[in-house]
Amino acid sequence: MGIDSSRWFAPPSPDPGGPRLICLPYAGGGTAIFRDWPAALAGVVVCPARLPGREARFGEPAVSHIDPLVDALADALAPWTDRPYALFGHSMGAIVAYELARRMRDRGQPAPSHLFAAGRQAPHIPEPEPMCHELPDDELAAELQSRYGATTAFEHPELVELMLPTLRADCAICETYRHEPAAPLDCPIHAFGGTDDATVSTDDLEAWRTHTAGGFTSTRVDGDHFFIDANPAPVLAAIRTALGAA
């Protein structure tokens, strides 16, 4: 039995008929991050990924390693490649999007037209922070709060407690990821970083350049690590320009 693509992606209805934008969230995030994107990207089919362990799939265990997650996403994405598509990912989502682009290439599937990577150092640069996914619950919550500050993700302690298993699994994806060298992608990469994000330096952002043979752009956006929540306009403008040109 084939994979149910509708469990993994949430396309808009009606379908505007343009290129698809597959959106992958940061750790602990879900489709709600991209709720306002369809209105800002007229003519683009915004398809947020529905990952296990959150929202409608809250009852399913979150995936804690990148390989099975990317394999499942590649299976689910295959039916959606009948027209041009691009990949967007923020933080954890950026590395998942990059590996998904590689997996589609390795399978001989249609490649994305663009890769938009936000809030994450280039794949070959190790995680700058010590591992935290094996910490006890209270220490894990405190560590994430310390790293990322008083963002919307931590405004409701009861919600954080409920989401800790998923946050732990997502942290494990990031912290156990090891880049395997491969040929650069053919699609252009546009990397975004927050001006006040202490976890991603300008050099970290520029290093994405080595992973594409199709052109590279980087943009610093006003904001901290979660700039796509507080200040998505520059990101959306760049995506709109790139996909409009495509």
Quick one: 156 exposed, middle or buried, by C-beta within 10 A (0-12, 13-18, 19+)? exposed
Distance CA 196, CA 11 (A): 32
* Joined tokens for residue 49: 């990924």
Catalytic (active site) residue 91: yes
In 9-56, at which residue ranges do the beta strands (DSSP E only) sit? 20-24, 45-48
- The residue from 91, 146, 201, 218 that is catalytic is 91
Distance CA 131, CA 174 (A): 9
Residue 231 DSSP SS3: coil
Distance CA 200, CA 222 (A): 13
What separation in angstroms does the CA of 221 have from each of 118, 194, 228, 230, 234?
10, 5, 9, 10, 7
Active site residues: 91
